[in-house]
Amino acid sequence: MSDSTSILEALLKALPDLRTQIYFKSSLTALSHAMEDQVLAGVNSTLVIASFQRERFYRQEAHRYLRISERADQVYVLAAPETDFSNRSNHYETVAFEPTDALAQEWHLVVVGPRYAACLICKERQTTSEDSGGQSAADQSRRFEGIWTFDRHTVCKAAELLLDAILKYRPELTNKIIQAKAGLSPQTRTGFNNLDPEPFAERLVTYLQAGQYKLIKAYRSIAAQERKERLVNSITATIRRSLDPDEIFKIAAQELGQALGVCRCLIYRCKETDTHVTIQHEYLGTTVESLVNQTWNLQDNPLFQAVVQRQEAVFVDNTQEDPWILNDGLPVSPPQLHDGSNGSPPAQRWQIQSWLMVPVIHQSRLLGMVELHNCRVTLHGWSEAELELVEAIATQVGVALIQAEAYANLEDLNQQLEALDRTRSNLIAITGHELRTPLSTIQVCLESLSSEPDMPAELSQVMLQSALSDAERMRKLIQDFLTLSELESGRVKWHLEPLPFKECVDLALSSIRARQIHNNQLPNITSQIPSNLPMVQTDGEWLVEVLSKLLDNACKFTDPDGQVIIQAREAGQQMLEVIVADTGRGIEPNRLETVFDRFYQEEGALRRTTGGTGLGLAICRQIVTGLGGRIWAESGGKDQGSQFHFTIPTVQTETRRPPTSTARKAKAKASRNRT
């Protein structure tokens, strides 16, 4: 049984002169309570009708209606049922209307007494999404349109309409309703007559006041929120302008310390496992002692350890009274903190009265810490708002740090890319020069040989020789490329075994001397290897490669009347140091490291007269590092000769073993490469 006629519309139809008004929900609550209080204040009312939109709204007022029923002759309460609200006759009549009834959209209260009549007949307006901002804001912004009046004529008409609606749901109450209608006498036009309106007015004022307080509170919290947002934004903007972590810490400490008016604000980088840090960035608000350059103990600081453990902010309001009872009441170690400066706990040593530590965390990784100290001032309890602000800044510092880190990585990557690009250009240049030149020589020689069958035997021998030697040059270059790329890719498998070092040297020397047969312009080479050296733990094949390349270079850059010496000695820590020294052209001090770069050649790739690829030393460094040693160059400078040193691990055994299969393999390879 549903009735879709609105009481408000019916009333407006019956009394067309009525003008509606818009009311906020809070105003209707205030007016309703004031009207109900008028009944409770002892006015002898005959009839009270209250229509609630839903059962839950009525529930909040159920007690009040019990009391009202003691004061009024007839009380009717209407609501759309939600749980157990139903049609009942108890202390007062309850009327459960259909949720689809137009009544579900309306808020009515009618009070009719012999000397007092008032009514409130309103319909809820649909709120737009703009009006609602959150659950409670949406509730407060509910709006109603309707009539609120003391005009007895209107009140009686409204009561009549509501009684008719009640009758439809509760026909068994016909007699009671007829009686109620009979009591409606619209002859008295003034609402209060001689009645004291004070309780009504007082109630309204109280509501107004309460509303005002709520507003002030809301404004305050909005203003605080706005202030916080402005501050966070301004600090964030300043921090984000920099990509230098030091600068970020400096600015954040300064701005945050100033904004919160603390005595000291520290921001430092740290990890969970750090035992201490040196303070570098600090804001000092008052004349307290600075902590800059002090060693700040983290390991023994329960506050720091609690932050690390909980991954959240920790604070102490009063370090004197309640030194190490943290904010959630969990007791931690007593104040055993020592900062290493004079043995007293830091709270005491640095006069920290209240202490706040907020971690700078990014993806569960501790990047740093923000510390706020208040010292020697009236006690300062850390407020929720302060905590939120510091946490917001710590988050921003974390983001800025990650950005700075990413930028630094990008810089590194850029440099690597640039280096790669240079390598590529060098590769192209060297390939162009190194491969094209011998190729054209080979081509010219072969063309001449094939086009001139009558060429004298001596000349054709020269042609063949030069084609062969250029083919060899090309082979070496290609081989070096392949070797280096294999080493750099990390795919090389080292076959380490104990070897007598002298035999590796002999293998390398034999390949150099084989060259001497073809070219007797090499300098004099001397080997000074003591016979009592420990065996080396190495890959013979690769070790011979290093020795050959170093000896090759020494001969290449030394005049035939110069000297090349190879020496070896124990260097401690189970290492052997090998030196390949020459009396040749030497290396400038600022080039001692660069010579190991790929394609480095003093004359530049295209002006080289000595041959070679510029890859030899780069290959040596890759091999020596892979074998567990290091390699470096020394020289007195131009024309002062050069010494190439490298280290190589030895084995801790007295056993001297004959060359193994690997050493033999090395021998085979060396003779293959060098002859």
Q: Which residues sit at the interface with ligand ADP, rule CB under 6 A?
A: 553-554, 557, 582, 584-585, 587, 595, 600-602, 612-618, 642
Distance of closest approach, residue 442 Cβ to ligand ADP, in angstroms: 20
The tokens describing 634, both together, are 């020394």
Instruction: Tell me how long the chain is.
Output: 675
Distance of closest approach, residue 575 Cβ to ligand ADP, in angstroms: 22
Distance of closest approach, residue 487 Cβ to ligand ADP, in angstroms: 13
Residue with tokens 């009539």: 147
Residue 168 CA, distance from chain mean position: 66
The tokens describing 64, both together, are 């009040």
Contact of 289 with 350, CB cutoff 8 Å? yes
Distance of closest approach, residue 606 Cβ to ligand ADP, in angstroms: 12
Nearest to ligand ADP of 354, 548 (CB atom): 548
> Closest by alpha carbon to 393, among 276, 278, 251?
251
Contact of 389 with 227, CB cutoff 8 Å? no
Nearest to ligand ADP of 357, 619 (CB atom): 619
Nearest to ligand ADP of 24, 600 (CB atom): 600
Nearest to ligand ADP of 231, 618 (CB atom): 618
Nearest to ligand ADP of 12, 565 (CB atom): 565
Amino acid at 469: S
Distance of closest approach, residue 674 Cβ to ligand ADP, in angstroms: 15
Nearest to ligand ADP of 41, 478 (CB atom): 478
C-alpha 26/C-alpha 136 separation (Å) is: 12
> Closest by alpha carbon to 374, among 295, 280, 294, 260?
260
Pairing of strands 74-80, 93-96: parallel
Distance of closest approach, residue 507 Cβ to ligand ADP, in angstroms: 19
Distance of closest approach, residue 234 Cβ to ligand ADP, in angstroms: 56
- Outline where 142-277 has alpha helix (H): 152-169, 174-182, 198-240, 245-260
- Determine the residue with CB nearest ligand ADP: 612
Contact of 380 with 319, CB cutoff 8 Å? no
Distance of closest approach, residue 644 Cβ to ligand ADP, in angstroms: 6
C-alpha 432/C-alpha 442 separation (Å) is: 15
Nearest to ligand ADP of 310, 638 (CB atom): 638
C-alpha 433/C-alpha 365 separation (Å) is: 52
Distance of closest approach, residue 569 Cβ to ligand ADP, in angstroms: 20
C-alpha 333/C-alpha 323 separation (Å) is: 9
The tokens describing 592, both together, are 């001692």
Distance of closest approach, residue 602 Cβ to ligand ADP, in angstroms: 3
Nearest to ligand ADP of 570, 634 (CB atom): 634
Angle (deg, nearest 10), helices 501-518 and 661-674: 20
Q: Does the CA dihedral 159-164-166-170 come out positive or negative? A: positive
For residue 516, what are the CA distances in angstroms to 18, 513, 546, 593, 608? 124, 5, 19, 30, 21
Question: What single string gives the DSSP state of each residue in 488-534?
Answer: HTT-PPP--EEE-HHHHHHHHHHHHHHHHHH-TTPPEEEEE--TTPP
Nearest to ligand ADP of 368, 616 (CB atom): 616
Nearest to ligand ADP of 14, 419 (CB atom): 419
